[in-house]
Amino acid sequence: MAHVLIAEARFYDHLNDLLIAGARRAIEAAGHTHELVTVPGALELPPAIARASEAGRFDAYVALGVVIRGETYHFEIVAGESARGLMALALDGVAVGNGILTVENEEQALVRADPAAKDKGGEAAVAALTLMTVAERFAA
């Protein structure tokens, strides 16, 4: 049984609740346990997961959050840098699923976050668990 960290950037409560529900359902359906940690925004997810990874208590990580395009360039920075940070962790061997939604509007986010629709939280959890399994396969 694996122990998974769900790290959420808590900005849009109702959307995050949907993402978390999907991730929890996928992790529990696979027979694993999980904990939740909350950070202020998507840029804080990679460093939070990096610190948790260093502690060695978790087997996989799920990054969840929502970034909605606004009127400024901030969207591109947050979306790109959070994805880059998670990819750097993955390339260093951390089993992390990226469930950070980067969307144009709340309607798109709702469809993607809803476990009964696109279930991106669940998909991110499955991705993390798959990467964990791949790592185990090629270990030793």
| Annotated binding residues for 5-amino-6-(D-ribitylamino)uracil | 11, 42-44, 66-68, 98
Element (H, E) at 34: strand 33-39
> Among residues 44, 43, 48, 42, which one has the least CA distance to residue 61?
48
H-state helical runs in the chain: 13-29, 45-55, 74-91, 106-113, 120-138
3 in catalytic set: no
Binding site: which residues?
11, 42-44, 66-68, 71-72, 98, 112
Binding site for (2S)-2-hydroxy-3-oxobutyl phosphate: which residues?
71-72, 112
Size (the chain), residues: 140
Report the amino acid identity of residue 128: A
Structure tokens at 71: 């009127």
Say which of 14, 32, 34, 74 is annotated catalytic.
Answer: 74
- SS3 of 101, please? strand
Q: Supply the residues annotated as catalytic.
A: 74
